Amino acid sequence: MKKRSMFWKGKKAVFRCGILFLFLLLLSKAIAYAGDASSIQIFLKEGKEGIRSIQRAIQSPNGSGAPTKNSIVKPEEDKDSKAERDGEDGNWMLTLVNGENPLPDEYSPPLEKLENGLQFDARAIDQLNAMLSDARAQGLSPVVCSAYRTIEYQRELFDNQINKQMSRGWGRRQAVEEAGRVVSYPGTSEHNLGLAADIVSESYQILDEKQADTSEMQWLLEHCSEYGFILRYPEGKTDVTGVIYEPWHFRYVGKQAAKEITENGLCLEEYLMNH
pLDDT digits (tens, 9 = 90+) for 79-138: 333 434 444 456 899 999 998 999 887 788 999 999 999 999 999 999 999 999 999 999
User: CA–CA separation, 173 vs 165, rounded Å?
Assistant: 10
Look at residue 267 and tell me whether its pLDDT is greater than 80: yes
- 244 vs 140 pLDDT, higher one: 140
Q: What per-residue confidence (pLDDT) applies to 25?
A: 54
Q: What per-residue confidence (pLDDT) applies to 51?
A: 31
Q: Which of 84, 216, 246, 269 is catalytic?
A: 246
pLDDT digits (tens, 9 = 90+) for 171-216: 999 999 889 878 888 889 999 999 999 999 999 999 999 999 999 9
Residues 217/211, Cβ–Cβ less than 8 Å:
yes
In this structure, which long-range contacts are made by residues 201-206, counting pairs with CB atoms below 8 Å and at least 24 apart in sequence? 201/140, 201/141, 201/142, 201/143, 202/141, 202/142, 202/143, 203/141, 205/143, 205/145
Please state, for a pLDDT cut of 70, what percent of the chain lies above it. Answer: 67
- The pLDDT of 223-240, averaged and rounded, is 97
Residues 83/89, Cβ–Cβ less than 8 Å:
yes
Counting Cβ atoms within 10 Å, is residue 120 exposed (0-12), middle (13-18) or buried (19+)? buried
Q: What per-residue confidence (pLDDT) applies to 151?
A: 82
Q: What per-residue confidence (pLDDT) applies to 184?
A: 82
Look at residue 158 and tell me whether its pLDDT is greater than 90: yes
Residues 193/97, Cβ–Cβ less than 8 Å:
yes
Is 246 part of the annotated catalytic residue set?
yes
pLDDT digits (tens, 9 = 90+) for 22-73: 555 554 544 444 443 333 333 333 333 333 333 333 333 333 333 333 333 4
Q: What per-residue confidence (pLDDT) applies to 196?
A: 97
Give, in words, the CATH class of 99-149+189-273: alpha beta
Q: What per-residue confidence (pLDDT) applies to 101?
A: 94
- 235 vs 274 pLDDT, higher one: 235
The DSSP-derived string for the chain is -HHHHHHHHHHHHHHHHHHHHHHHHHHHHHHHHHHHHHHHHHHHHHHHHHHHHHHHHHHSTTSS----TT--------TT-HHHHHSS--GGGG---BTTBPPPTT----EEE-TTS-EEETTTHHHHHHHHHHHHHTT--EEEEE----HHHHHHHHHHHHHHHHHTT--HHHHHHHHHHHSPPTTS-HHHHT-EEEEEETTB---SGGGGGSHHHHHHHHHGGGGTEEEEE-TT-HHHHSS--EEEEEEE--HHHHHHHHHTT--HHHHHHT-
Q: What per-residue confidence (pLDDT) applies to 205?
A: 96
Against a cut of 0.75, is the pTM above it? no
User: CA–CA separation, 70 vs 60, rounded Å?
Assistant: 9
Look at residue 149 and tell me whether its pLDDT is greater than 70: yes
